[in-house]
Structure 1
C-alpha cells in the first residue's frame, strides 16, 4: 500500500484533492489506520483515479462523475469520450488562435489609422470570368463567420473537379452576396474553361465584368485583411466614388508556403454618383 502522499505523487494529483475525493465518497482509501487516521491506497486504485480525473477534464461535475464511475464504463467507451473531448479542445484552440490573429489585425489597423497607404490602389476594368464554385451561407461577413464556412469549400471543390476530370484554368475567386439580415452567401470559386453541365456536382457560372474596380494587392492571410480593406475605403471616399456590393477576392497565390508570401487581389466595383 501507499501513503496518501506517495499515492498523490503516483497519480499526479494533490493530497488536498485526494482528501476531497475521499470526503465526497468518490475515492475512499483502501485502508485507514484506526490509531493514526493515516490513509493508505493500493496501486489498483490508480485506475479509478485516472478515470475520475479524465471525466472531470471532460467537463463533468463530481456528481456526474460518480454516476459514470458507478456504471463502470469500459475502456473503449471512456476512450471514445476522451477522443471526442480532445477533438473539441483542438477545435477550440484553432478558434482561439484565429481570434487572436483577428485581434492583432485590428490592432494593426488601429495603429495605421490616418496613415494607410493608398498609392498601390489601381482602378481598372475587370473582364468577365468563368468559374466553377460551391456555395454556402455564413452568419455574417465577419471573418469569424466567413472563415469556417469558406475554408472547407475549396478542398471539396477541388476534389469534385478532379472526379469530373476538370482542371482549373486560373486563380481561385471568392465572391459574396447578401442573404438577408446579417447572413452572407459565400461562393468559393476557381477559374475553369468548361461549360455548365447538369452532370457536375458543382456550379459553373460566368462572373460579370466590372466596368470599373478599385483593386489592391493584399499580402498575407485573409485574417490580416482589415488594413487593406480600410485603405481601399479611404481611397474610394477621397476620390468621390461609391462602392457596389462586396469585394471579389482573387487568390493569386494562397494556401501554399509561407503565409506572409500569400497574395490576394481585392476587387471592389465602384461608380461615380451622378452629378460628380
Structure 2
C-alpha cells in the first residue's frame, strides 16, 4: 500500500484533493489506521482516480462524476465524452479567437480615424454571374455568427459540386439578405457554367450591380470592420447611399487566414 502522499504523487494530484475525495465519498482509502487516522491506498485505485480527474476536467461537477462512475461508464464511452468535449472546446476557442480579431480590428479602426484610405475605393459595374449556391440562416450579421455558418456552407458546396462533376469557374462569393428579426440569410456561392438542373444545390444568376463601391480587404473577415468603415466614409463623402449588404468575393483564400484577400462590393445609388 501507499501513503496518501505517495499515492498523490503517483496520481499527479494533491493530498488536499485526495482528502476532499475521501470526505465526499468519491474515492475512499483502501485502509485507514484506526489509531493514527493515516490513509493508505492501493495501486489499483489509481484507475478510479484517473477516471475522476478525466471526467471532472470534462466540465462535470463532482456529484455528476460520482453518478457516472457509479453507472460504470466504459472506456469507449469515456473516449466519446472526451471527443465531444474537445469539439466543444475547439469551437469555443475558435469563437474567442474570432472575437479577439474583431476587437483588434475595431481598435485599429479607432487608431486610424482621420486617416481613412478612401482612395482605395473603386466605383464600378459588377456583371451578372451564374453560381451554384447553398444558403443557411445566421443569428446576425456579426462575424462571430456569420463565420460558423458560412465556412461549412462553402465546404459542403464544394463537396456537392465535386460529386456532381461540376467545375468551379471563379472565386467564391458570399452575399447576405437581412431578415426582419435581425437574422441574416447567408449564401455561399461558387461560379459555374451549367444550366439549372436536378442538383442538390441551387443554380442561380446573381444579378449585375450597376454601381458598386468596392475595396480590397486583406486578412480575416473577422477583422473587416476597418475596411467597411473606409467604404462608409467614401460612400458618404461622394454623395451615395448603400442599398444592400456587401457581397464578398474571395480572391485568395490560403490556409493562413491573415493572408486572405477579399473584395467587398456594396451596391450604391446617388443621394
Looking at structure 2, the residues matched to 8 and 156 of structure 1 have their Cα atoms a distance apart, in angstroms, of: 49
Q: Which residue of 1 aligns with 2:243?
A: 244
Q: Aligned equivalents of 2:37 and 2:190: distance in 1? A: 73
Residue in structure 2 matched with residue 216 of structure 1 by the alignment: 215
Comparing 214-223 with 259-268, greater Cα deviation is found at 259-268
Corresponding residue SS for 1:251: strand
Write the distance in 2 (CA, Å) between the matches of 1:213 and 1:152.
28
Comparing 173-182 with 258-267, greater Cα deviation is found at 258-267
State the 1:83 CA deviation: 2.3
**Counterpart-to-counterpart distance in 2, 1:72 and 1:164:** 47
Q: Which runs of 5+ in 1 are unaligned?
A: none
CA distance in 1: counterparts of 2:63 and 2:169, whole angstroms: 60
1:262 aligns with 2:263: no
Moved over 6 A (4+): none
Aligned mates of 1:211, 1:76 — CA distance in 2? 59
Shifted more, 143-152 versus 74-83: the winner is 74-83
| Map of 2:13 onto structure 1 | 13
Residue-by-residue CA offset, 1:23-75 (whole Å, 9 max, x unaligned): 11111111122232211111011011111112212222222222222222222
RMSD: 1.3
Match of 2:57 in 1: 57
Indicate the residue corresponding to 1:182 in structure 2.
182
Matched position secondary structure for 2:149: helix
| Cross-structure match for 2:233 | 234
What is the alpha-carbon distance in structure 1 between the residues aligned to residue 83 and residue 249 of structure 2?
38
What are the Cα deviations for residues 200-244 of structure 1, in whole angstroms up to 9, with x where unaligned? Answer: 111111111111111101111211211100000011111111001
The Cα shift of 1:87 comes to 2.0
Aligned: 1:202 with 2:201: yes
Give the TM-score normalised by the residue count of structure 2.
Answer: 0.96
Q: Comparing 78-87 with 39-48, which one deviates more in the overlay?
A: 78-87
Q: How many Å separate the matches in 2 of 1:144 and 1:172? A: 20
Counting only pairs closer than 5 Å after superposition, residues 41-190 of structure 1 correspond to structure 2 as: 41-190=41-190
Partner Cα separation in structure 1 for residue 60 and residue 169 of structure 2: 52
User: 1:257 Cα deviation (Å)?
Assistant: 4.5
- The total of aligned residue pairs comes to 271
Match of 2:99, SS? Answer: helix
Cα distance in 2, alignment partners of residues 70 and 258 from structure 1: 46
TM-score by length of 1: 0.94
Contact 2:98–2:143 (8 Å) recurs in 1: no
